[in-house]
Structure 1
Amino acid sequence: MELLDRSDPQRIGGITLRGRLGAGGMGRVFYGLTDDYEQVAVKIIREDLLGHTEARARFAREIDALRTVQGPHVAALVDASGEGEERPWLAVEYVRGLSLKEFVETCGPLDGEHAATLGVLLASALGDIHAAGLLHRDLKPGNILLGRDGAKVIDLGLVALVDGPTDLTTTASTLGTPACMSPEQANTPKQVTAATDVYSLGATLMFALAKHYPYDGKTVAALFMNIISADVKPDLAGVPEEFAPLITAMLAQDPADRPTVPETYERLKEVATSGGVTLPVAVRRFAVATYVERDSDPQDPTPPARPRRRDLSEVVVPGSVVAKLADRLRGAYAVGARF
């Protein structure tokens, strides 16, 4: 997190801005606090786009999508600008953890159990997005944040209606991130379906497991040609054997050959719980293993503790606690005793 620049706003709506989180194609993202001290990530449209009708319409579409989608694994909308405001903005819950892209690049690929659990959470998020009649169209490692409770999907800036025009204008311009883009999205962006999000989920899981994407190319044009060519197969190097059939199916050239989101969810759940653990336990293990706290508020002189990545096996319970618990259990199982 960086300090605010002199040119940055200090306050917007009922939110005090405290630092810079990053920037994207549509605007800059800030860390802020509401008047109730709720931490939020605030996206403000770029000043040079204020006069662009399409950019403003896309920003409004993202706000509408966030108001519509309800789900534990999609970052929730906290507040947003009204119709009459000159500079559109939106605020979503702040997730202090790293993005999946940052985590894999820093700590390395996920193991099979954690990757499967991640896939379950992302499939759940896509299910909630699709249930609202929307497509994400830009699911990728950079749009997935790893928080205390697992993974959350962010950035609905390219969201589209399932049963309507998928772009805001009549152009057929390609929108999305090439590395995770399906063949149909790269080739015919106005004819995408829910299967496009399944493909992006497959590409994201490949990155989580093997630290690379299905296709590569020396140029963006070469990458697009590899993606849309039926003769070029995705590179599965580094993908564990138990994941290869599912990942291959999710990356099928023909959208009709890909599993649905519910089918993907169930197949990943089988892997995540194959060791006899319940899904909630698998999610908790995933969260403990992947949560790395971001830098604190740059204006706060007392930064929070920064927990390192750790495994549940590292947790040590003091002997006094164990002894006390043992005494309680012996009492509980004594004849006539009540716990």
Structure 2
Amino acid sequence: MQPLKSTDPKQIGPIAIRGLLGYGGMGRVYFGLTGDAEPVAVKVIREDLLGREEVRARFFRELDALRSVQGPQIAALLDASDETDERPWIAIEYIRGLTVKELVETRGCLSLEHAATLGLLLAKALADIHAAELLHRDLTPGNVLMSREGPKVIDFGLAAFADGPSDLTGSAAHLGTPPCMSPEQVNSPRQISTASDVYSLGATLLYSLTGHYPYRDRVTAARLLKISDPNSPPDLDGLPDQFEPLVRRMLAHEQADRPTVPEVRAWCERLVGSQVNAAIRSLAVGNYVERETDPEQAAPPKPVPKDLSAVAPPGSVIHRLAERLRREYAATARF
């Protein structure tokens, strides 16, 4: 958490704002307290983007998604402003645990049992999301928080309805987090399906077990080129043999070659064994680390590579996409 600046709001709706949790290309997330002293995460649109209809449309799409989907592994919507408010806001349950990405970075990779349990619970979360006829489109180690009750999926800012093309693929919106983006998100973002979320779950499981993503290139354009190339297989180095067949299928280039969410869930259940409840408790207790709330402890942002011309010609589709992603993620430094 970072301390508030003079330009930050001290009150959003009925919520007293106490600190800044994070920010990205389009919005900010604050830590706040309700009138009952309940901690919440409050998301708002950046002031300079409030007048842009496509940004507001994406914001309210996230609100609609949160209203539509419920589940024990999904961060709950607690309150929200009216859509007519000049500066709309969304309040979501505040989860003190680290993200899977932070957990792996600070404590190392998950054990086979814990990774299988993580896969099982995230497959359940995706089943709840897809049952609401939604696609998450941005499932990553940075968007899974390890709470006292186990993993919680957050950030529905890119959620799309599964029954048609998304209107969020224009020039003003990024398409996902590059390390976990599926090939179709790079090549044809208007033609994605639930299989795209399966790919992202596979990338998340790979990271939790090995500490690396399917493609390790630090330059975004190079990574996107490999993701979109059917002849560039993902890097599965370090992946335990028990997970290799599943993750390889989840990261298949063609959507039709990937397992379904129920198949992923069944595979993970077999890996966990008969003591599912005990495994879930072990995952939650063994990997819950309460987030440091001292602003002085906030880590500095990681540098983002700038040299794109070496891997993609300036003006090309990949170069333009990578440049937009680089600018937006320079603020969040999530990968």
TM-score (norm 1): 0.84
1: CA distance, partners of 2:169 / 2:10:
34
1: CA distance, partners of 2:144 / 2:34:
23
Does structure 1 retain, via aligned residues, the 8 Å contact 2:13–2:81? yes
Q: How many residues align?
A: 295
Distance apart, 1:5 and its partner CA: 1.4
Partner of 1:147: 147
Distance apart, 1:216 and its partner CA: 2.6
Partner of 1:291: 288
Distance apart, 1:169 and its partner CA: 6.2
1: CA distance, partners of 2:291 / 2:25:
23
Letter in 1 for 2:226: N
Partner of 1:93: 93
Q: How does 1:97-116 map to 2 (within 5 A)?
A: 97-116=97-116
**Structure 2 residue 36 is the aligned partner of structure 1 residue 44:** no
Specify the SS of the correspondent of 2:25: coil
Specify the SS of the correspondent of 1:102: helix
Per-residue CA distance 1:247-302 (angstroms, 9 max, x = gap): 000001110010101110111111122xx42x11111000111100112487xxxx
Partner of 2:59: 59
Distance apart, 1:172 and its partner CA: 10
1: CA distance, partners of 2:213 / 2:92:
28
Q: How does 1:1-339 map to 2 (within 5 A)?
A: 1-168=1-168, 175-273=175-273, 276-277=274-275, 279-296=276-293
2: CA distance, partners of 1:219 / 1:269:
36
Per-residue CA distance 1:292-336 (angstroms, 9 max, x = gap): 0112487xxxxxxxxxxxxxxxxxxxxxxxxxxxxxxxxxxxxxx
2: CA distance, partners of 1:173 / 1:186:
13
Distance apart, 1:167 and its partner CA: 2.5
Structure 2 CA distance for partners of 1:31 and 1:147, relative to 1, 3 Å:
same
Distance apart, 1:217 and its partner CA: 2.5
Letter in 1 for 2:289: V
Does structure 1 retain, via aligned residues, the 8 Å contact 2:55–2:172? no
Per-residue CA distance 1:213-269 (angstroms, 9 max, x = gap): 001335222111111111111111111010000000000111001010111011111
2: CA distance, partners of 1:140 / 1:40:
22
* Unmatched segments (≥5 aa) in structure 2: 296-335
Per-residue CA distance 1:47-104 (angstroms, 9 max, x = gap): 1111111001000100010011011111000011101101111010010000111110
Which structure has the greater CA radius of gyration? Answer: 1
Specify the SS of the correspondent of 1:145: strand
Per-residue CA distance 1:18-53 (angstroms, 9 max, x = gap): 111111222111111111221111111111111111
* Unmatched segments (≥5 aa) in structure 1: 299-339
2: CA distance, partners of 1:231 / 1:174:
25
Does structure 2 retain, via aligned residues, the 8 Å contact 1:174–1:186? no
Name the % identity: 59
TM-score (norm 2): 0.85
Structure 2 CA distance for partners of 1:251 and 1:63, relative to 1, 3 Å:
same
Higher RCO, 1 vs 2 (CA within 8 Å, ≥6 residues apart): 2
